[in-house]
Amino acid sequence: MNGTGTAAEDRVFAALANATRREVLRLLRERGPQPVQALADHFDMRRPSLSEHLKVLREAGLVSERRSGRQRLYRLEAAPLADVQDWLHPYERFWRERLKGLGDLLDRMPDDERS
């Protein structure tokens, strides 16, 4: 039924369901790998809380850490986002067809329907 596993998909979507964590991903995307403190400086939040967000991202596979002296550099790992795009694929025709105004026609096709 699933290649990645349902629990893994849950973790990725749940990790993305938080503005702070999406912002962390954006920072890593735009600035490259960052230590925790550099990330924490951008949020109105204590560092331990950000550490917990990083843990959620790590367990979802969205970031990796590399120790460098007393710092830990967090790096964006985009593979789970590629999985999200794959997951979206079968839905793509729905929003494309809807834009062309074919949605109502489609509604009647698989089931008895009217609009």
Partner DNA sequence: ACAATAGGTAGGCAGTTCCCTACCAGTCAA
Partner DNA sequence: TTGACTGGTAGGGAACTGCCTACCTATTGT
Interface residue list for DNA (CB under 7 A):
14, 17-18, 20, 35-37, 44-49, 51-56, 65, 67, 69-72
Q: Which does 92 bind (CB under 5 to 8 A by kind): DNA, a copy of itself, none?
A: a copy of itself
Under the criterion CB under 8 A, does residue 41 sit at the interface with a copy of itself? no
Angle CA 100–106–111, to nearest 5? 165
DSSP labels, the chain: --SS-HHHHHHHHHHHSSHHHHHHHHHHHHH-SEEHHHHHTTSSS-HHHHHHHHHHHHHTTSEEEEEETTEEEEEE--HHHHHHHHHHGGGHHHHHHHHTT-HHHHHHTTS----
> Which residues between 47 and 66 bind a copy of itself (CB under 8 A)?
66
Least Å distance, CB 85 to a copy of itself, is 6
Under the criterion CB under 8 A, does residue 75 sit at the interface with a copy of itself? yes
Q: Which does 51 bind (CB under 5 to 8 A by kind): DNA, a copy of itself, none?
A: DNA
Q: Which does 98 bind (CB under 5 to 8 A by kind): a copy of itself, DNA, none?
A: a copy of itself
Selected from 4, 43, 71, 102, the binder of a copy of itself by CB under 8 A is 71
